[in-house]
Amino acid sequence: MKLKEFAKQVGLSPTTVSRALSGYPEVSETTRARVAEAAVRLGYSPNVNAVRLKTGRAGAIGVVMGRAGEFHFAEFMAGMAERLVAEETDILVIPMADPNQEDEMQLYRRLVESRRVDAIIVHSPKPNDERIALLHELGMPFLVHGRSAIDVPHAWLDIDNEAAIMRATSHLIDLGHRRIAMINGRPGATYALHRDSGFRKALQSHGIEPDPQLMASGNFTDELGFRFARSFLEQPNPPTAFVAGSMMTALGVYRAARSLGLQIGRDVSVIAHDDVFPYLTADNMVPSLSATRSSMRAAGTRCADLVLQLLSGRSPLEIHELWPVELILRESTGPARQSTS
Partner DNA sequence: TCCAAAATTGAAAACGGTTTGGTTGCTTGT
Partner DNA sequence: ACAAGCAACCAAACCGTTTTCAATTTTGGA
Return residues touching its own copies (CB under 8 A). Answer: 43, 45, 47-50, 52-53, 56, 58-60, 65, 67-71, 73-75, 77-82, 84-86, 90-97, 110, 113-116, 219-223, 226, 248, 251-252, 255, 258-259, 277-281, 284-286, 297
CA 109 to chain centre: 22
Which is nearer to DNA, 5 or 174 (by Cβ)?
5
In angstroms, what is the minimal distance from the CB of 38 to DNA? Answer: 13
| Residue 292 touching DNA (CB under 7 A) | no
In angstroms, what is the minimal distance from the CB of 201 to its own copies? Answer: 29
**Of its own copies, DNA, none, which one sits near residue 259, judging by CB under 5 to 8 A according to partner kind?**
its own copies
Binding to DNA (CB under 7 A) within 39-58 occurs at 46-47, 50-51, 53-56
In angstroms, what is the minimal distance from the CB of 318 to its own copies? Answer: 27
The answer to whether 234 touches 302, Cβ cutoff 8 Å, is: no
For residue 28, report the phi and psi dihedrals to the nearest 5 degrees. Answer: -65, 150
Three-state SS at 17 = helix
**Of DNA, its own copies, none, which one sits near residue 95, judging by CB under 5 to 8 A according to partner kind?**
its own copies
Angle between helices 247-259 and 222-233 (to 10 degrees): 40
Give the separation between CA 78 and CA 227, rounded to whole angstroms: 31
Report which of 242, 296, 311 is spatially closest to residue 70, judged by C-alpha positions.
Answer: 296
Give the separation between CA 186 and CA 311, rounded to whole angstroms: 32
**Of DNA, its own copies, none, which one sits near residue 323, judging by CB under 5 to 8 A according to partner kind?**
none
Q: Report, in angstroms and rounded to the nearest whole number, the Rg of the chain calculated over CA atoms.
A: 25
Give the separation between CA 141 and CA 156, rounded to whole angstroms: 12
Binding site residues, DNA, CB under 7 A:
1-4, 11-16, 18-19, 21-22, 26-28, 31, 46-47, 50-51, 53-56
